[in-house]
Amino acid sequence: MTQTAALKPASWRPTAPPSFLDRLTTFAWRTIRPSELEVVTRRVSAFTGSDAGAIFSYCSPVELVTLYRLARSCPPGTIALEVGSHFGASACYIGTAMSQIAGRLYCVDTWGNETMPEGLQDTLAVFEHNTRGLGSVIRPIRKRSELLEPGDFEAPLGFLFLDGDHSYESVSTDWARLEPWLGPKATVAFHDIKHFPGVSRCVGERLVSNHWKLGGFIDNLVWLHRARW
């Protein structure tokens, strides 16, 4: 499959998750209270100038707040990169966190909607409108993720969110291209681990390599930390 920075293939269908993922999901949901969802969403809305909770997204509210949490816990001045930005919901949460730690977020997407269920459309204007309050923090990179070059963003990366094309070939390509630019204490988050075997396979390979360890899992989002610093 040709790599794109869009989010999901039009033919995707959820698959039954393994029971251990169900248990992890049930446990993880308890770690974010509804009051925290409301507080963080209000904070993100204030920073972005948008109603963050109303932006259409394939990430659930608890996943978005988790992304905010993870990004907010990064060291000051962290450089973050997101592959697959769509309408900008996740960028709003990660970008708000980056603004609070004097960091920066690079968003990579074609914004052509090539593999989305809604069909082809130019979504860059919607993304820019939804993230308009973070203009000093967010840098859009309109290209396919496999074409990224060192001059496109600053390095090292302290936070990486992979939510582009979910085929195994594409996720692996993104990883191979971006891993050399990850800092020694980087956090890497993957979306749709339960819906797409390619994502779970890539994550599994990272874990058995002993170079990365499981940071956590919530709903359909998983994140990893380096096994050794």
- Comparing CA positions, the residue from 197, 218, 212 lying closest to residue 69 is 218
Q: Band of the pLDDT at 32, cuts 50, 70, 90?
A: confident
Q: Please state, as a whole number, how many other Cβ atoms lie within 10 Å of the Cβ of residue 59.
A: 23
Whether 12 maps to a domain, the answer reads: no
Whether 151 maps to a domain, the answer reads: yes
pTM exceeding the 0.75 threshold for the entire prediction: yes
- What residue type is 5 in one-letter code? A
Strand order in the sheet with 221-226: 138-142, 104-109, 79-83, 157-162, 182-191, 221-226, 212-218
Whether 134 maps to a domain, the answer reads: yes
* pLDDT (tens digit per residue) in 144-158: 999 999 899 999 999
Whether 46 maps to a domain, the answer reads: yes
Domain count, the chain: 1
The pLDDT value given to residue 31: 66
Whether 13 maps to a domain, the answer reads: no
Start-end of H helices in 74-209: 89-100, 124-130, 168-178, 197-208
* pLDDT (tens digit per residue) in 86-117: 999 999 999 999 999 999 999 999 998 766 66
Domain residues for the domain of 216 are 19-226
Q: Please state, as a whole number, how many other Cβ atoms lie within 10 Å of the Cβ of residue 220.
A: 22
Task: Extract the tokens encoding 33.
Answer: 């209270």
Whether 96 maps to a domain, the answer reads: yes
Q: Provide the pairing of β-strand 212-218 with 221-226.
A: antiparallel
Whether 117 maps to a domain, the answer reads: yes
Q: What CATH number is associated with residue 83?
A: 3.40.50.150
- 13: pLDDT strictly greater than 70: no
Task: Extract the tokens encoding 56.
Answer: 């259409």
Whether 10 maps to a domain, the answer reads: no
